[in-house]
Structure 1
Amino acid sequence: MKIICIDQDETGGSRFLDHAWVLEEGSFTPPSPSGYRISPPLDAERILMMHHPAGYVDAWHTAPAVVLGTVLRGTVRIETSNLDTRILQVGDQFLARDLQGKGHRMFEVNEGPYDLALVVLSQAPAADVCFQ
Protein backbone atom coordinates (compact mmCIF):
# COMPACT_ATOMS: atom_id res chain seq x y z
CA MET A 1 0.00 0.00 0.00
CA LYS A 2 1.80 3.09 -1.24
CA ILE A 3 2.01 6.55 0.29
CA ILE A 4 3.65 9.69 -1.08
CA CYS A 5 5.45 11.89 1.45
CA ILE A 6 5.96 15.61 0.90
CA ASP A 7 9.05 16.61 2.86
CA GLN A 8 10.99 19.80 3.29
CA ASP A 9 14.56 19.66 2.08
CA GLU A 10 17.71 21.21 3.52
CA THR A 11 17.48 24.29 1.23
CA GLY A 12 13.99 25.35 2.35
CA GLY A 13 12.26 23.66 -0.56
CA SER A 14 10.07 20.61 -0.73
CA ARG A 15 10.45 17.18 -2.31
CA PHE A 16 8.64 13.85 -2.64
CA LEU A 17 9.62 10.58 -1.04
CA ASP A 18 7.80 7.48 -2.29
CA HIS A 19 7.12 4.90 0.39
CA ALA A 20 4.86 2.00 1.24
CA TRP A 21 3.20 1.49 4.60
CA VAL A 22 4.73 -1.20 6.79
CA LEU A 23 1.92 -3.71 7.30
CA GLU A 24 2.14 -6.46 9.86
CA GLU A 25 -0.11 -9.34 10.72
CA GLY A 26 -2.62 -8.08 13.23
CA SER A 27 -6.18 -7.97 14.36
CA PHE A 28 -8.12 -4.71 14.56
CA THR A 29 -11.62 -6.17 14.24
CA PRO A 30 -11.40 -9.72 15.58
CA PRO A 31 -11.78 -12.32 14.39
CA SER A 32 -9.61 -11.27 11.48
CA PRO A 33 -9.19 -13.55 8.47
CA SER A 34 -5.88 -15.04 7.41
CA GLY A 35 -3.80 -12.43 5.58
CA TYR A 36 -5.26 -9.48 7.52
CA ARG A 37 -2.50 -6.88 7.92
CA ILE A 38 -2.39 -3.51 9.69
CA SER A 39 0.01 -0.58 10.00
CA PRO A 40 1.42 0.67 13.28
CA PRO A 41 -1.11 3.00 14.95
CA LEU A 42 -0.73 6.77 14.52
CA ASP A 43 -2.09 9.34 16.96
CA ALA A 44 -4.41 11.91 15.41
CA GLU A 45 -5.69 15.28 16.63
CA ARG A 46 -8.61 15.85 14.24
CA ILE A 47 -10.15 14.85 10.92
CA LEU A 48 -11.29 17.24 8.17
CA MET A 49 -13.17 16.74 4.94
CA MET A 50 -12.13 19.33 2.35
CA HIS A 51 -13.89 20.30 -0.89
CA HIS A 52 -12.10 22.27 -3.62
CA PRO A 53 -14.38 23.85 -6.25
CA ALA A 54 -13.79 23.38 -9.98
CA GLY A 55 -10.85 25.42 -11.25
CA TYR A 56 -9.30 25.93 -7.80
CA VAL A 57 -5.47 26.00 -7.76
CA ASP A 58 -3.58 26.16 -4.46
CA ALA A 59 -1.09 28.91 -3.82
CA TRP A 60 2.29 27.65 -2.60
CA HIS A 61 1.90 26.70 1.04
CA THR A 62 3.43 24.57 3.76
CA ALA A 63 1.41 22.04 5.68
CA PRO A 64 -0.10 23.68 8.81
CA ALA A 65 0.64 20.45 10.70
CA VAL A 66 1.60 16.91 9.76
CA VAL A 67 -1.36 15.84 7.62
CA LEU A 68 -2.30 12.44 6.19
CA GLY A 69 -4.50 13.01 3.15
CA THR A 70 -6.59 10.69 1.01
CA VAL A 71 -8.07 11.70 -2.34
CA LEU A 72 -11.83 11.08 -2.30
CA ARG A 73 -12.79 12.63 -5.66
CA GLY A 74 -10.86 13.97 -8.64
CA THR A 75 -7.41 13.50 -10.13
CA VAL A 76 -5.06 15.66 -8.09
CA ARG A 77 -1.66 16.94 -9.13
CA ILE A 78 0.72 17.83 -6.30
CA GLU A 79 3.83 19.85 -7.11
CA THR A 80 6.84 20.43 -4.86
CA SER A 81 9.13 23.46 -4.97
CA ASN A 82 11.69 21.56 -7.06
CA LEU A 83 8.86 21.24 -9.67
CA ASP A 84 8.56 17.48 -9.22
CA THR A 85 4.97 16.29 -9.52
CA ARG A 86 2.79 13.35 -8.59
CA ILE A 87 -0.69 12.58 -9.90
CA LEU A 88 -3.00 11.09 -7.28
CA GLN A 89 -6.21 9.21 -8.01
CA VAL A 90 -9.14 8.40 -5.77
CA GLY A 91 -7.87 6.33 -2.85
CA ASP A 92 -4.25 7.52 -3.11
CA GLN A 93 -2.64 8.83 0.07
CA PHE A 94 -0.12 11.54 0.82
CA LEU A 95 1.63 12.64 3.99
CA ALA A 96 2.39 16.37 4.08
CA ARG A 97 5.18 17.09 6.52
CA ASP A 98 6.77 20.13 4.84
CA LEU A 99 6.09 22.48 7.76
CA GLN A 100 8.61 25.17 6.76
CA GLY A 101 10.01 26.62 3.55
CA LYS A 102 8.30 27.14 0.21
CA GLY A 103 5.96 24.18 0.51
CA HIS A 104 3.84 22.59 -2.19
CA ARG A 105 0.68 23.24 -4.21
CA MET A 106 -2.06 21.11 -5.71
CA PHE A 107 -4.88 21.25 -8.21
CA GLU A 108 -7.30 19.01 -10.06
CA VAL A 109 -5.81 17.90 -13.40
CA ASN A 110 -9.04 18.37 -15.37
CA GLU A 111 -9.97 21.63 -13.59
CA GLY A 112 -12.89 19.88 -11.91
CA PRO A 113 -13.72 19.79 -8.21
CA TYR A 114 -11.80 17.54 -5.86
CA ASP A 115 -12.31 16.29 -2.33
CA LEU A 116 -9.82 15.22 0.31
CA ALA A 117 -10.06 13.52 3.68
CA LEU A 118 -7.39 14.98 5.96
CA VAL A 119 -6.20 13.52 9.25
CA VAL A 120 -4.10 15.92 11.32
CA LEU A 121 -1.52 13.77 13.09
CA SER A 122 -0.08 14.50 16.54
CA GLN A 123 3.42 13.98 15.12
CA ALA A 124 5.15 12.73 11.99
CA PRO A 125 5.27 8.93 11.79
CA ALA A 126 8.68 7.40 12.39
CA ALA A 127 10.00 6.44 8.96
CA ASP A 128 11.74 3.31 10.21
CA VAL A 129 8.54 2.06 11.86
CA CYS A 130 5.84 3.12 9.41
CA PHE A 131 7.43 3.07 5.94
CA GLN A 132 9.33 0.68 3.72
Structure 2
Amino acid sequence: MQLLHLTEDAQGVSHFKDVEIALNEGDFAPPAPVMPISDKEACKNLLYLVLPAGWGGAKHPSPRRQVAFCLSGWLRVEAGDGEVREFGAGAIWRMEDVSGSGHKTTVIGSEDVQLAIVQLE
Protein backbone atom coordinates (compact mmCIF):
# COMPACT_ATOMS: atom_id res chain seq x y z
CA MET A 1 0.00 0.00 0.00
CA GLN A 2 1.32 3.43 -0.89
CA LEU A 3 0.67 6.98 0.23
CA LEU A 4 1.73 10.36 -1.08
CA HIS A 5 3.91 12.14 1.52
CA LEU A 6 4.32 15.92 1.42
CA THR A 7 7.47 16.79 3.32
CA GLU A 8 10.06 19.57 3.38
CA ASP A 9 13.82 19.72 3.08
CA ALA A 10 16.29 21.62 5.31
CA GLN A 11 15.55 24.84 3.38
CA GLY A 12 11.81 24.51 4.04
CA VAL A 13 10.94 23.61 0.44
CA SER A 14 8.10 21.09 0.25
CA HIS A 15 8.36 17.89 -1.81
CA PHE A 16 6.05 15.01 -2.66
CA LYS A 17 7.27 11.46 -2.20
CA ASP A 18 5.53 8.16 -2.90
CA VAL A 19 5.93 6.07 0.26
CA GLU A 20 5.28 2.35 0.63
CA ILE A 21 3.43 1.59 3.86
CA ALA A 22 5.04 -1.46 5.46
CA LEU A 23 2.50 -4.23 6.09
CA ASN A 24 3.11 -7.36 8.14
CA GLU A 25 0.86 -10.28 9.03
CA GLY A 26 -1.11 -9.26 12.09
CA ASP A 27 -4.07 -10.15 14.27
CA PHE A 28 -6.35 -7.10 14.07
CA ALA A 29 -9.74 -8.31 15.33
CA PRO A 30 -9.71 -11.85 16.74
CA PRO A 31 -11.26 -14.25 15.96
CA ALA A 32 -11.14 -12.86 12.40
CA PRO A 33 -8.24 -14.27 10.32
CA VAL A 34 -4.87 -12.51 10.30
CA MET A 35 -4.26 -10.00 7.52
CA PRO A 36 -1.54 -7.62 6.30
CA ILE A 37 -1.57 -4.62 8.62
CA SER A 38 0.59 -1.54 9.25
CA ASP A 39 2.09 -0.35 12.48
CA LYS A 40 0.09 2.23 14.46
CA GLU A 41 0.89 5.94 14.26
CA ALA A 42 0.13 8.57 16.91
CA CYS A 43 -3.17 10.42 16.51
CA LYS A 44 -4.68 8.36 19.06
CA ASN A 45 -4.04 5.60 16.55
CA LEU A 46 -3.88 5.62 12.78
CA LEU A 47 -3.29 2.33 11.02
CA TYR A 48 -3.53 0.89 7.53
CA LEU A 49 -4.61 -2.65 6.74
CA VAL A 50 -5.36 -4.88 3.78
CA LEU A 51 -8.16 -7.42 3.64
CA PRO A 52 -6.97 -9.72 0.82
CA ALA A 53 -9.33 -10.74 -1.99
CA GLY A 54 -11.36 -13.71 -0.74
CA TRP A 55 -10.88 -12.74 2.94
CA GLY A 56 -13.88 -13.34 5.15
CA GLY A 57 -13.81 -13.19 8.88
CA ALA A 58 -15.77 -14.70 11.72
CA LYS A 59 -18.24 -12.46 13.53
CA HIS A 60 -16.23 -10.20 15.86
CA PRO A 61 -16.57 -6.91 17.76
CA SER A 62 -14.52 -3.92 16.68
CA PRO A 63 -11.24 -3.94 18.61
CA ARG A 64 -11.77 -0.24 19.57
CA ARG A 65 -14.06 2.68 18.75
CA GLN A 66 -12.78 3.67 15.34
CA VAL A 67 -13.42 5.33 12.00
CA ALA A 68 -12.54 3.47 8.79
CA PHE A 69 -11.72 4.95 5.39
CA CYS A 70 -12.00 2.59 2.41
CA LEU A 71 -9.23 3.38 -0.06
CA SER A 72 -9.87 0.60 -2.60
CA GLY A 73 -11.86 -2.57 -3.16
CA TRP A 74 -15.32 -3.59 -1.98
CA LEU A 75 -16.45 -5.19 1.25
CA ARG A 76 -19.69 -6.35 2.80
CA VAL A 77 -20.36 -5.85 6.51
CA GLU A 78 -23.19 -7.66 8.28
CA ALA A 79 -24.29 -6.12 11.58
CA GLY A 80 -25.42 -8.21 14.54
CA ASP A 81 -29.07 -7.45 13.67
CA GLY A 82 -28.60 -8.93 10.19
CA GLU A 83 -28.56 -5.65 8.25
CA VAL A 84 -25.98 -5.77 5.44
CA ARG A 85 -24.12 -2.81 3.95
CA GLU A 86 -21.54 -2.75 1.16
CA PHE A 87 -18.66 -0.27 1.09
CA GLY A 88 -16.27 0.77 -1.66
CA ALA A 89 -13.49 3.28 -2.18
CA GLY A 90 -14.32 6.61 -0.55
CA ALA A 91 -16.64 5.16 2.09
CA ILE A 92 -16.09 6.34 5.65
CA TRP A 93 -17.70 4.69 8.62
CA ARG A 94 -17.51 4.73 12.39
CA MET A 95 -17.47 1.47 14.37
CA GLU A 96 -18.45 1.41 18.04
CA ASP A 97 -19.53 -2.23 18.46
CA VAL A 98 -16.73 -3.01 20.90
CA SER A 99 -18.29 -5.28 23.52
CA GLY A 100 -21.16 -7.26 21.96
CA SER A 101 -21.23 -10.01 19.35
CA GLY A 102 -19.93 -7.63 16.68
CA HIS A 103 -20.18 -7.87 12.91
CA LYS A 104 -18.98 -10.03 10.01
CA THR A 105 -16.82 -8.59 7.24
CA THR A 106 -16.32 -10.16 3.80
CA VAL A 107 -14.27 -8.91 0.84
CA ILE A 108 -16.38 -8.77 -2.34
CA GLY A 109 -14.76 -9.46 -5.71
CA SER A 110 -11.17 -10.14 -6.74
CA GLU A 111 -9.54 -6.92 -5.49
CA ASP A 112 -7.89 -6.48 -2.07
CA VAL A 113 -9.60 -3.96 0.23
CA GLN A 114 -7.22 -1.24 1.45
CA LEU A 115 -8.32 0.66 4.57
CA ALA A 116 -7.08 3.49 6.76
CA ILE A 117 -8.37 3.25 10.34
CA VAL A 118 -8.33 6.00 12.97
CA GLN A 119 -8.86 4.56 16.43
CA LEU A 120 -10.55 6.81 18.98
CA GLU A 121 -10.21 7.24 22.75
TM-score in terms of structure 1 length: 0.56
Unpaired runs of 5+ residues, structure 1, are 1-43, 123-132
Give the letter aligned to residue 113 of structure 2. Answer: Y
Give the letter aligned to residue 65 of structure 2. Answer: V
| Structure with greater contact order relative to length (CA < 8 Å, sep ≥ 6) | 1
Identity %: 27
1:112 positional shift: 3.1
Give the letter aligned to residue 64 of structure 1. Answer: P
Unpaired runs of 5+ residues, structure 2, are 1-42
Query: Which 10-residue stretch deviates more, 109-118 or 52-61?
Result: 109-118
TM-score in terms of structure 2 length: 0.61
Root mean square deviation, CA, Å: 1.2
- Segments ≥4 residues shifted beyond 4 Å: none
- Distance (whole Å) between structure 1 residues aligned to residue 60 and residue 47 of structure 2: 18
User: How many pairs does the alignment contain?
Assistant: 79
Give the 3-state SS of the residue equivalent to 1:119 in structure 2. strand
Deviations 1:7-31 (A, max 9, x none): xxxxxxxxxxxxxxxxxxxxxxxxx
Q: Which residue of 1 aligns with 2:74?
A: 75
Q: Which residue of 1 aligns with 2:84?
A: 85
